[in-house]
Amino acid sequence: MNRTKRKIFEASMKLFAEKGYDATSVEEITATVGVAKGTLYYHFSSKEEIYNFLLEEGTKLLINNIDLKISKFKNAIDKLRAVALLQLRIISKYENLITIYLSQVWGNDSRNQKCQKYINTYIDKIEEIVKEGIESGELKKGNSRIIASEIFSFTCTGLIYKRKLNQPIDLKEMCSEFDNMIYGLLNK
C-alpha cells in the first residue's frame, strides 16, 4: 500500500471509530489526510469501498497473525493462549479498527452484515482450535462455537476495560484472567 493510500486508510479508520461511518464525510477524510477528493477517488471509488477495505484488511491481519502464532504450538491450550495474547495486543495497537468492528456489528443493513461476516470468519479460526482441543481431549466436550465466541468476547472486553479505566490494557493481568477462564475448560 503506498503512502497516500495508507494515510487515507488510517485517517478513515480513526474517523469511523470516533464518529461512526454515517457521520464521517469524504470531505472530512480528505481534509484530515490533506489530499484532494480526486486523490482519494484515485485510491478508493467511494467511502463504502474504504470501509470494506478496512474490514477486509483488518480481518486478514488478525487471521494471518493467528496462523503465524499458532504454528509455533502443538496443543490447543497454548494456541488459545497465543490467540488471546495476540488479540489483546491487536486491541491495544489497532483500537480504532476493533472499535469499528464492534460498533457496526449490530443491525441488519449490508454494512452490519459485512462486519458480522468478518467477525464470524475470525471466530471460525478460534473455533478450529477449540475443536482441536476437544477432539484431542485437552478441553471438555462442549459447543465449540459458543466457546470460540466466549474467547473472542473475553478479549474484546479488554477494549471496554481499557476505555472505562482510560489506561492501557495490562496484558499480564488480562492473560492471567484468560488462563483462569481456560482452566474451567480443561478436561481434567
Whether residue 112 sits in one domain with residue 23: no
Q: Quote the CA–CA distance of 183 and 164 in Å, as a whole number.
A: 27
Whether residue 70 sits in one domain with residue 38: no
Q: What percent of the chain has pLDDT over 90?
A: 40
Q: CA-based angle 65:70:71, to the nearest 5?
A: 100
Whether residue 55 sits in one domain with residue 41: no
Read off the pLDDT of residues 157-171 as tens digits, 9 standing for 90 and up: 776 777 677 777 777
Tracing cell 478479549 back to the chain, one arrives at 155
DSSP state of 169: -
> Is 98 within the bounds of a domain?
yes
Q: CA-based angle 173:178:184, to the nearest 5?
A: 135
Q: Quote the CA–CA distance of 125 and 107 in Å, as a whole number.
A: 23
Range of the domain at 36: 1-45
Q: Quote the CA–CA distance of 173 and 176 in Å, as a whole number.
A: 5
Read off the pLDDT of residues 55-73 as tens digits, 9 standing for 90 and up: 888 888 888 888 998 999 9
Per-residue confidence (pLDDT) for residue 152, from 0 to 100:
87
Whether residue 76 sits in one domain with residue 30: no
Alpha helix locations (H) across the chain? Answer: 3-19, 26-33, 37-43, 47-70, 76-93, 95-104, 110-136, 144-165, 171-183
Minimum mean pLDDT range among 12-16, 66-70, 147-151, 184-188: 184-188
Whether residue 30 sits in one domain with residue 12: yes
> Is 14 within the bounds of a domain?
yes
Is residue 81 very low, low, confident or very high in pLDDT (cuts 50, 70, 90)?
A: confident
> Is 115 within the bounds of a domain?
yes
> Is 101 within the bounds of a domain?
yes
Per-residue confidence (pLDDT) for residue 57, from 0 to 100:
86
76, amino acid identity: A
Choose between 141 and 184: higher pLDDT: 141
Q: What is the DSSP string of 11-58?
A: HHHHHHHHH-TTT--HHHHHHHHT--HHHHHHH-SSHHHHHHHHHHHH
Read off the pLDDT of residues 102-139 as tens digits, 9 standing for 90 and up: 888 888 988 889 889 988 998 999 999 999 999 999 98
Reading phi first (left if > 0) and then psi (alpha if -120 to 50, else beta), residue 160 is in: alpha
Q: Quote the CA–CA distance of 16 and 30 in Å, as a whole number.
A: 13
Where does residue 148 rank: exposed (0-12), middle (13-18), buried (19+ CB within 10 A)?
A: buried
Q: Quote the CA–CA distance of 4 and 118 in Å, as a whole number.
A: 25
Per-residue confidence (pLDDT) for residue 61, from 0 to 100:
82
Choose between 95 and 8: higher pLDDT: 8
Whether residue 130 sits in one domain with residue 95: yes
Whether residue 156 sits in one domain with residue 71: yes
Q: pTM for the complete prediction?
A: 0.81
Q: Mean pLDDT, to the nearest integer, of 89-108?
A: 81
